[in-house]
Structure 1
Amino acid sequence: MLRRLIYLFFFIPFACIDPYQVDVPEGEQLLTVEGIISTGPGPHAITLTRSATYGSVFEGLIRPVSLATVVVRDNDGNVTFLTEGDEAKGTYFTPASFRAEVGKSYTLQILTAEGKVYTSTPERVESVPPIASLELRTVTIPSPGSQAPRSGVQLIAEVNDPGDQNNFYYWRNGPAVYILETRPDLFTPRPSPQNPNRTPQPKPCCIQCFRTEVSDNQGLFVVNDDNFNGLKARIPASFIEDNGLRFVNKFRMDLKQYSISQGAFRFLRLVKQQAEINGSIFDPPPATIRGNMISLDNPDEVVLGYFMAGGETSRRIYIDRNDLTFKQNRAIIPDDCREVAGASLNPPADWNP
């Protein structure tokens, strides 16, 4: 029996399996344009990136488009050149003195380093009413798998909408400053030959700083005045997430309100709808949302994003920790507050809570 098994073993065919090499194409790199010029103070920023199409091995990789020539031209023929940032590659800035003018139309023109030319359709600047007042609400958001919900502050803007024009509103969070509190008494350095056991080494200073940051927009806030034309309206215009640091003491932010074109509003509304898809079987399939940018070399080329131009107004709000009805647990930074990016011991010159 054993001999038969040995013979059977030698008659079993053996083969080597060579790995199959698949050459995956890089995929088309889509130009994405993002930015707005407005009647507010400059500089205004336009960001150019390239992202890969779905299915590419580079999908999800965003590459800044550097060394491009970027200009803004108005309907009177005036041309403004934008300058690429030294540290923000792919982001191009207008001169600080540049402001768009109500009633004028503006076109963005781009010449890439590879010699490709892109242009936007003209965007007309409309006037924008001021923000009459700002109200805040504490908002909690259930977080699946976590006992503590996410939370933050929702800002409600009151607007006296003019009745003689159709308005399209867009809100963005402006620069923010808040009092940052840290724990330098808990400072423990990284392991080193001199301190292999990470013995705590408390620092005598400093506990409190003023930190400046550009708040991320948590969602898109856009609306048209179809339902309140000529009336006073109160509209959710911003959400600022509580990260355990911002609302420990005092927080300040400038909320920016824009009047944008109908085309820009439609684009942002579609982006908002796709961003809020919850993954059910009834959701519409994701689709490429075309903006107002086209390639002059190849009109069939897909260009993502939207160049916007609009009127701008802003309103400042100070938020005290006691204004919140729900707060996250305080985040602990075991170090001198001056070691945190954007922090300084001195308050801004216009700090006036």
Structure 2
Amino acid sequence: MKKLKKYLILLLLLSGACVDPYEVEVEGGEQLLTVEATLTSEPGRQRVRLTRSDRYGSVFEGLIRPVRGATVIVRDDLGEVAFLEEDDEERGSYFTKSDFATQVGRSYTLQIQTVDGKIYSSLPERVSAVPEINSVQLETVRIPVEGEENDRSGIQLIAELSDPAEENNFYLWRNGPSVYVLETRPDLFTPRPSDSNPSRDPQPKDCCITCYRSEIVGNQGVFIANDDNFNGLTTRIPAGFIEDDGLRFVNTYRVDLRQISISPEAFRFLRLVKQQTEISGSVFDPPPANIRSNMINLEDPDEVVLGYFIAGAETVRRIYISTADLDFTQPKTIIPDDCREVEGAQVDPPADWNP
């Protein structure tokens, strides 16, 4: 009986070793077209960015793929057409000519044809006038971090504007290009260990301590408003946030605050995006919403398209922020190298630098 049990166990082991692996074929998730486009009345080379992301179930889930080779045009309600050209280096980004600008009172439509023949069109976006930014106030914000000794911090930008009384207005704020004085420590430079310097002794560099670094910093949030509560009045509204990373506010920081008029439909879209990004994760949160884009596949209206095409008017307010303007700053980040080695940095200030 014992021998029989041994034979049975041996047969089970042998049969298990000979089983071929079962290959599971998982169908890739559907690729979703994502459109990022905000065209305004500020003349310049303005961008439409096209990407595709995969739905849940794809082995490439979360991967962002640029959409190349598309035909992209912007058409206004008078029939004038602007063709956008794809950038050779920034894949999936299509740019207008340098003098392109929207006009107040005009409506604009974005049209896209991909290399596989699919044609997409936005709903028309009408451009409304936008008032000037009267002034920008600064407020230091500290954010406690659980388990960390130091708080996160940054600068809240608060825009003052005089809202027109003639119509219902909708606003979007974004941070434009920024430049700041970057300070580093080339005297602390230590190269990697090598045969010529096995002990990692410092080898100070002669230059340079101070540079001017250019960057574009996102608002780290969606800053929008409508004038239901301040129609025809002068008001102050949070319009941006810049995080203190230990480098930006050591000396002087310059930022262009962009105030953009948007359509009621664009406002509703951005409000839903804002609600989704600010969900705290509690049981009382609303369920995620299917945020509908204003882009439509003309042959398959049921196709899900992400993002939104915005056309508006824009006004810009340039501000300089010095260390003395802040109530709290992060400990200074030490970069032990020539400041010119930092991406986006140069020794000479911009020609329009005027703090």
TM-score by length of 1: 0.96
CA positional deviation for 1:287: 3.2
User: Matched residues in 2 for 1:165 and 1:194: separation?
Assistant: 72
Aligned residue for 1:56?
A: 58
User: Matched residues in 2 for 1:94 and 1:333: separation?
Assistant: 38
User: Matched residues in 2 for 1:347 and 1:200: separation?
Assistant: 29
User: Matched residues in 2 for 1:232 and 1:43: separation?
Assistant: 32
Contact in 1 for aligned 2:176/2:257 (Cα 8 Å) = yes
User: Matched residues in 2 for 1:128 and 1:54: separation?
Assistant: 40
Q: Aligned Cα RMSD in Å?
A: 1.4
Aligned residue for 1:350?
A: 352
Aligned residue for 1:321?
A: 323
Aligned residue for 2:268?
A: 266
Aligned residue for 1:217?
A: 219
Aligned residue for 1:291?
A: 293
User: Matched residues in 1 for 2:167 and 2:194: separation?
Assistant: 67
SS of 1:164's equivalent in the other structure is coil
Moved more, 51-60 or 67-76: 51-60
Aligned residue for 2:340?
A: 338
**Among 236, 239, 243, the residue aligned to 1:237:** 239
Aligned residue for 2:7?
A: 10
SS of 2:228's equivalent in the other structure is coil
- Structure 1 residue 207 corresponds to structure 2 residue 189: no
Aligned residue for 1:99?
A: 101
CA positional deviation for 1:25: 1.4
CA positional deviation for 1:7: 5.7
CA positional deviation for 1:297: 2.2
Quick one: structure 1 residues 256 and 201, their matched pair in 2 at CA, closer, same or farther if it must change by over 3 Å?
same
Quick one: structure 1 residues 20 and 340, their matched pair in 2 at CA, closer, same or farther if it must change by over 3 Å?
same
User: Matched residues in 1 for 2:290 and 2:27: separation?
Assistant: 20
User: Matched residues in 2 for 1:60 and 1:31: separation?
Assistant: 13
CA positional deviation for 1:5: 5.9
Aligned residue for 2:256?
A: 254
CA positional deviation for 1:270: 0.3
CA positional deviation for 1:227: 0.6
User: Matched residues in 1 for 2:331 and 2:256: separation?
Assistant: 25
Structure 2: gaps (5+ residues): none
Quick one: structure 1 residues 343 and 275, their matched pair in 2 at CA, closer, same or farther if it must change by over 3 Å?
same
Moved more, 54-63 or 310-319: 54-63
- Structure 1 residue 181 corresponds to structure 2 residue 183: yes
Moved more, 85-94 or 120-129: 85-94
Aligned residue for 2:158?
A: 156
SS of 1:258's equivalent in the other structure is strand
Moved more, 163-172 or 282-291: 282-291
Aligned residue for 1:120?
A: 122
User: Matched residues in 1 for 2:283 and 2:3: separation?
Assistant: 57
User: Aligned letter for 2:191?
Assistant: P
Residues 236-261 of structure 1 show CA distances to partners (whole Å, capped at 9, x for unaligned) of 00000000100000000000000000
User: Aligned letter for 2:158?
Assistant: I
Aligned residue for 1:78?
A: 80
TM-score by length of 2: 0.95
User: Matched residues in 2 for 1:55 and 1:273: separation?
Assistant: 26
Contact in 1 for aligned 2:28/2:57 (Cα 8 Å) = no
User: Matched residues in 2 for 1:154 and 1:75: separation?
Assistant: 38
Contact in 1 for aligned 2:143/2:152 (Cα 8 Å) = yes
SS of 1:263's equivalent in the other structure is helix
SS of 2:158's equivalent in the other structure is strand
CA positional deviation for 1:332: 1.0
CA positional deviation for 1:6: 6.4
User: Aligned letter for 2:68?
Assistant: S
SS of 2:348's equivalent in the other structure is coil
SS of 1:226's equivalent in the other structure is helix
CA positional deviation for 1:18: 4.2
- Structure 1 residue 166 corresponds to structure 2 residue 168: yes
Aligned residue for 1:190?
A: 192
SS of 1:177's equivalent in the other structure is strand
Residues 169-220 of structure 1 show CA distances to partners (whole Å, capped at 9, x for unaligned) of 0000000000000011111122334334433211111000001111122101
Identity %: 64
Structure 1: gaps (5+ residues): none
Aligned residue for 2:309?
A: 307
